[in-house]
Amino acid sequence: MFQFSSLKGTSLVPEGIFYAWPASLVLLVVNVVFNSGALAQSVEEVVVTGNPLSKAQNANNVSSLSGMALTQQGQSTLGETLNNLPGVSSTYFGPNASRPIVRGLDGDRIRVLSNSGGSMDVSSLSYDHAVPTDVLSTERIEVLRGPASLQYGGSAIGGVVNIIDNRIPRKPMDGVLGKAQLQGATGNNERSKGALLEAGLGNWVFHADAFDRQTGDVKVPKALACSKPGSPAISNRMCNSASASEGGAVGASVFMDQGYLGLSMNSYLSQYGTVAEDQVSIGMKSERGALEGEWRPESVLFQSLNFQASQTKYKHTEFDAGQAGTVFANQGHDIRVQARHHAWRTSHGAWEGVWGWQTEQAQFSADGAEAFAPFSKTRTQALFAIEEFTTGKASFNVGLRREQVSVESLGNPDPTVDRFEIGSRKFAPQSWAASTAWQVMPQWRLSANVSRTERAPKDYELFANGPHIATASWEQGNSNLGLEKANSVDLSAQWQQSTDQFRVAVFQSRFANFIGLMGTQEIQDELPVQLYQGVRAKFSGMEASGQWRLLQGSGTLDLALKADSVRAQNLSTHEPLPRISPFRWGTSLIHSSGPWSARLGFDWHAAQLRVPVGSVSTAAYTLWHGHLNYKQNVSGTTLNWFARLDNLSNQWAYSATSILTSTAPGKSPLPGRSLKLGVVASF
């Protein structure tokens, strides 16, 4: 089992984390604290959601996981946790590192947020870099597309994944509430625990949480070779796939007549094997402080003013046979202020909207033999506006965003490392999106979204020049890259009658300059050279999901169906794009009776034969799964007992969306049969 060694004993309070915040932010906080009115016992609920206008129904495409669904489906990585949502797959770099892929788009086209603020990690830089978060401390995860995503960043061409917790309490409470979770699994010998406690004292609400997750090497259906010292040379375990992570947070909010002000500090520590190499592991440390508040002034124009700010210090070290190697670090801040105006009413309907300003700054460094990207600074300033017009049974939504982005390469402080280009680029992305929704009949709702999105190239896309083991190549940036541009459209229909519901969506995105890592004929230090280039590309596909009540009596029996498909083409070379999920569909039977509920179903993945030269195709496979839940009340405490069985048939399979399927063939199959048992206690 991994030990945290030097990472142990780290304080939950990030050292010096607030000293880098701009003076303007301090002035803003002082203004809110001293000019918001007298303290009060209660205020209206503040909803944190992907929809900035907080409507129960909207034209934006939002999927979410929360409650027991999140507990049951939660994995140790964000990508695998969301992998079962229609339209969402996973980069799957083994069981310890994966990011979500939304409609075939991954990396920096998917913006991962923590409570609507930038996460400031380096997970998008490389497939083996994990997202520093754990579902044990998460309340809800939202996947958002459409105009509302423009409030979070123009780079979110594919969408936004928002990880939401209550570390900054957003509604007042009296008394004490808490939750504790214990779980274990057979497939990876998991032993996990987590707990949170919240207490209301007058106008203050306090929060504290902590978690710990320990896993061993993951069980797979067939024997694999392993050269890691201390591990069997041949076994039914994925070599170097063990992990250990822990973290926690403290937070507090004070509630006033005209709003609230909250602060939180959290820490995340992890050490895990990277599975591509038998003796390489990563030790990660992330510390984040966040400040958040709302002010509801007595103003003719504005209904509320919200602000969020965060400061993050991230660092991870890559170890080879226990020896420290390349160190990746990123630190920076994110500030967003947005104002919601009062409804502007006309004879035909009403306009509601949010206007905002956002700034981000990040300093990145990579130091060591496998530093394939230079030290760099990235600064972003943005203005955005989102407006919604509602009239009768229809609504119209439009979002605009204008950015100024500066990316500067600083080279490497080691004078012997002179392969990096030094310089800077400035970009001015402009994006817009529009949508409409129409309640055709009480049961039917139609919606459409169109967008024009521009993304500035990232520092590594412009200036990378070095060996990258995760992609098994020598990566080379292109400082002449222009803006990545996409025109997108999707149409959807939703039907609901009582407990029965169905939704289907079709989409297409066309890129005039899709920035991807493309192969060349060159060799550098015995590695194939891959160059970041812009090509024309097209992504198209569909998503569908539904649930129908089959039986109802002393209990209920429902049938759930889902399906999705993505087709991605490099229009410049007329080849398929790599790492695209094949057609998938699944079905489940869901039974509920009193305190008991159960689910049994399967997900079928078609063979992925549409791959470019150099990529490996994957065979079709079926994964069966089952859930069992029991809920009971014991002396005022609610106990939710759960069991989950994954890959019931112990199917041997490989992921079409994982780069390891091509770069490390045979080393990273999907996990075999596993039984997870756990309990969540709430009071």
C-alpha to C-alpha distance for 397 and 148, rounded to whole angstroms: 9
Domain that holds residue 247: 5-682
- Report the pLDDT value the prediction gives residue 52, as an integer from 0 to 100: 64
Residue 325, domain CATH: 2.40.170.20
Name the residue with higher pLDDT: 322 or 676: 676
- The type of residue at 24 is S
Q: Pairing mode, if any, of strands 430-438 and 444-455?
A: antiparallel
CA pseudo-torsion sign 339, 345, 348, 350: positive
Name the residue with higher pLDDT: 413 or 9: 413
Gyration radius (Cα) of the chain, Å: 25
The CA-based angle 161-270-135, given to 5 degrees, is: 40
When pLDDT is averaged across residues 619-637 and rounded to a whole number, the result is 96
What is the pTM for the complete model shown? 0.89
Contacts of 493 (CB under 8 A, 6+ apart): 444, 445, 446, 447, 503, 504, 505
Domains in the chain, number: 1
Burial class (CB in 10 A: 0-12, 13-18, 19+), 538: middle
C-alpha to C-alpha distance for 248 and 15, rounded to whole angstroms: 15
- The type of residue at 446 is L
Q: Which two tokens stand for residue 55?
A: 């409507």
Q: How many alpha carbons fall within 13 Å on the CB side of residue 216?
A: 14
| In the predicted structure, residue 38 carries a pLDDT above the cut 80 | no
Contacts of 351 (CB under 8 A, 6+ apart): 343, 344, 345, 387, 388, 389
| In the predicted structure, residue 30 carries a pLDDT above the cut 50 | no
- Report the pLDDT value the prediction gives residue 42, as an integer from 0 to 100: 31
| In the predicted structure, residue 19 carries a pLDDT above the cut 60 | no
- Report the pLDDT value the prediction gives residue 666, as an integer from 0 to 100: 87
- Report the pLDDT value the prediction gives residue 60, as an integer from 0 to 100: 53
Question: Which residue's structure tokens are 């990529």?
Answer: 615
Q: Which two tokens stand for residue 359?
A: 């700034």
Containing 25, the helix (H) or strand (E) segment is helix 23-34
Q: What's the chain's length in residues? A: 683
pLDDT band at residue 58 using 50, 70 and 90 as cut-offs: low
Q: How far is CA 480 from the centre of its chain?
A: 29
- The type of residue at 106 is D
Q: Which two tokens stand for residue 490?
A: 């999707």
Query: What confidence tens digit (pLDDT) does each residue in 528-543 have?
Result: 999 999 999 999 999 9
When pLDDT is averaged across residues 137-163 and rounded to a whole number, the result is 82
pLDDT band at residue 508 using 50, 70 and 90 as cut-offs: very high
Contacts of 128 (CB under 8 A, 6+ apart): 93, 97, 274, 276, 282, 469, 470
pLDDT band at residue 147 using 50, 70 and 90 as cut-offs: low
Phi, psi of 107 (to 5 degrees): 60, -135
| In the predicted structure, residue 3 carries a pLDDT above the cut 70 | no
- Report the pLDDT value the prediction gives residue 54, as an integer from 0 to 100: 53
Lowest-confidence region among 68-82, 231-245, 374-388: 68-82
When pLDDT is averaged across residues 67-90 and rounded to a whole number, the result is 91
Query: What confidence tens digit (pLDDT) does each residue in 96-131 have?
Result: 999 999 999 998 899 999 888 888 899 989 999 999
Average model confidence (pLDDT) for the chain? Answer: 89
- Report the pLDDT value the prediction gives residue 17, as an integer from 0 to 100: 36
